[in-house]
Amino acid sequence: MAFHTVRFPLGVALGARGGPERATDVITLASGREERNSRWAQSRRRYNAGYGVKSRADMAAVLAFFEERRGRFHSFLWRDGLDFSSNGTETPTPFDQPIGGGDGETLTFQLSKTYGASFDPYVRPITKPVAGSVRVAVAGTERTTGWSVDALTGVVTFDTAPAAGAAVTAGFLFDVPVRFDTDRLDIELTSFEAADAPSIPLIEVRE
Specify the DSSP element, H or E, that contains 175.
Answer: none
Mean predicted confidence (pLDDT) in 182-206: 81
Instruction: Flag whether pLDDT at 191 surpasses 70.
Output: no
Model pLDDT, residue 2:
96
Q: Would you give the DSSP letter of residue 118?
A: S
pLDDT digits (tens, 9 = 90+) for 27-44: 999 999 999 999 999 999
Question: Which phi and psi (to 5°) does residue 163 adopt?
Answer: -65, 155
Instruction: Flag whether pLDDT at 119 surpasses 80.
Output: yes
**Residue 135 contacts residue 87 (beta carbons within 8 Å):** no
pLDDT digits (tens, 9 = 90+) for 131-188: 999 999 999 999 999 999 999 999 999 999 999 999 999 999 999 999 999 999 887 7
**Residue 63 contacts residue 80 (beta carbons within 8 Å):** no
pLDDT digits (tens, 9 = 90+) for 78-112: 999 999 999 999 999 999 999 999 999 999 999 99
**Residue 72 contacts residue 181 (beta carbons within 8 Å):** yes
pTM over the 0.85 mark: yes
Beta strand 176-180 with 201-204 is antiparallel
Query: What is d(CA 150, CA 97) in angstroms, rounded to the nearest whole number?
Result: 17
Model pLDDT, residue 193:
64
Beta bridge partners, 120, equal: none
Instruction: Flag whether pLDDT at 207 surpasses 90.
Output: no
Instruction: Flag whether pLDDT at 192 surpasses 60.
Output: no
Q: Would you give the DSSP letter of residue 9?
A: P
